[in-house]
Amino acid sequence: MTQESSIRRQAIGWFVRLSSGEASEIDHVQWRQWYEANIRHQEAWARLEGLQHSLQRVPTNISLPTLQGVSQNRRSLLKGIAVLGIGSTFSYAMYREGWMAEYRTGTGEQREVRLADGSAVVLNTATAMDAHYDAHRRMLTLHEGEIVVETAKDKHIGSPRPFNVVTEHGRIHALGTRFLVHTHGDATLVAVLEHAVDIYLEHALSPTRLEAGQQTIIRHGQVTVITPVAANITAWQQGHIIAVDWRLADLVAELARYRAGWLRCDPAVAELKVSGVYPVHDTDKALLAIRQSFPVHIVRTTRYWVSIQAL
């Protein structure tokens, strides 16, 4: 289990305890100690609070929380949440948000997964995905983050099963394909590296075909303009961000995906143009390169609170 997965489970465990109606004063004190011990604890709890507020299902007297020893598998954990009366809607929402995803990566982590049919999926930083295979379908649900998929020929006995990647914005049907999907916020990026995919949207009369070398963004129920695949879009698989005439603010935002805590760029230097190769697995080294190349300095309030400011 990764450190990030462990922290997620601790946060869920505290949530279960504090929502049970049986939490003691000692529980609240211990939770507060856990919460204040690490900014990653605070980030995990903030995500849970955001989910609780969106559903309006959590008692208002819970403001910050932790239970130790929660190491069950995701099915047991969901069952425990239901038994404690938090509600199936919240349990489902936690699953849908990726908290209980079958495949996860933490911040800065990457992982390659070989699926039951031989298809390969590489998960980038902070990604949550589930795989659903049965007699009729092969489907990946991408809750958050970025994946590169290389589909294998289906050897299942009977009719060939379609291969789809589903995000909250649409369904991507693979046509013997290698392709990238990145979902974040209100949009999903789809880029085809080999062969083609069809994109299905809820209210569209027909799918949108993307051929090799093409990419698009799904936003607000629509496929935006189809453009050539961005150069070096999969450079992260080799551990790099390759910037060619980028805004410094855009490079910093990309580095922030691989770094725990808070990383920001002062608007005074946001428009500086940047070109170079920056490591995703050593963001401190990337920040040093930025400092040496531009009239900026790095301000570190804490290890997890960093800003790039004008000199």
Kindly state the average pLDDT of the residues 104-108: 87
Is the pLDDT confidence value at 73 over 80?
no
What would the pLDDT profile of 220-269 be if each residue is shown by its tens digit?
999 999 999 988 899 999 999 999 999 999 999 999 999 988 899 999 99
pLDDT of 1 higher than 60: no
Give the total residue count for the chain.
Answer: 311
Report CA torsion sign: 147, 150, 155, 157: positive
- 5 in Cβ contact with 75 (< 8 Å): no
For residues 125-137, one letter each, b for 16 or more C-beta atoms within 10 angstroms of the residue's C-beta and e for the rest, the string is bbbbbbbebeeee
Is residue 272's pLDDT more than 70?
yes
pLDDT in tens, 116-167: 999 999 999 989 999 999 888 999 999 999 999 999 988 887 788 999 999 9
Q: Which has more confidence, 35 or 122?
A: 122
Mean pLDDT within 57-83: 39
Whether residue 240 contacts residue 229, with contact meaning beta carbons closer than 8 Å, is answered with: no
E-assigned strand segments in the chain: 103-104, 111-114, 120-123, 128-133, 138-150, 163-167, 170-184, 187-200, 208-211, 214-219, 222-223, 227-228, 240-247, 262-265, 273-279, 296-302, 305-310
Count Cβ atoms within 10 A of the Cβ of residue 49 and give its class: 0-12 exposed, 13-18 middle, 19 or more buried: middle
> What's the rounded Cα separation, in Å, for the pair 165 and 105?
18
Residue 92: pLDDT band by 50, 70, 90 thresholds? very low
Return the closest-CA partner of residue 168 out of 150, 148, 151, 185: 185
Is residue 90's pLDDT more than 90?
no
Q: Output the pLDDT for position 202.
A: 86
Tokens of residue 257, six digits: 């995906």
Whether the pLDDT of residue 69 is over 50: the answer is no
Say whether pLDDT at 88 is over 60: no
Residue 240 pLDDT: 95
**pLDDT of 77 over the 50 cut:** no
pLDDT at residue 89, as a whole number: 47
pLDDT tier at 50, thresholds 50, 70, 90: low
Comparison of pLDDT for 80 and 68, the residue scoring more: 80
Of the ranges 3-12, 33-42, 187-196, 231-240, which one carries the lowest mean pLDDT score?
3-12
pTM of this structure: 0.72
Torsion-angle region of 85 (φ positive above 0: left; ψ -120 to 50: alpha; else: beta) = left
Q: How far apart are CA 276 and CA 150, in angstroms?
A: 28
Average pLDDT estimate for 81-96: 47
pLDDT at 81 over 80: no
Alpha carbon distance 296, 265 (integer Å): 10
Q: What pLDDT does residue 4 have? A: 64
CA distances (Å), origin 160, targets 119, 173, 209, 217, 248: 14, 13, 20, 28, 47
Beta bridge partners of 172: 165, 199
pLDDT score for 159: 81
84 versus 17: which is more confidently predicted?
A: 17
Tell me the pairing of strands 111-114 and 120-123.
Answer: antiparallel
> What's the token pair of residue 71?
């190491």
* Domains along the chain with CATH numbers: 3-96 (no CATH), 103-228 (2.60.120.1440), 239-310 (3.55.50.30)
- In terms of pLDDT, which residue wins out, 21 or 113? 113
**pLDDT for res 44:** 76
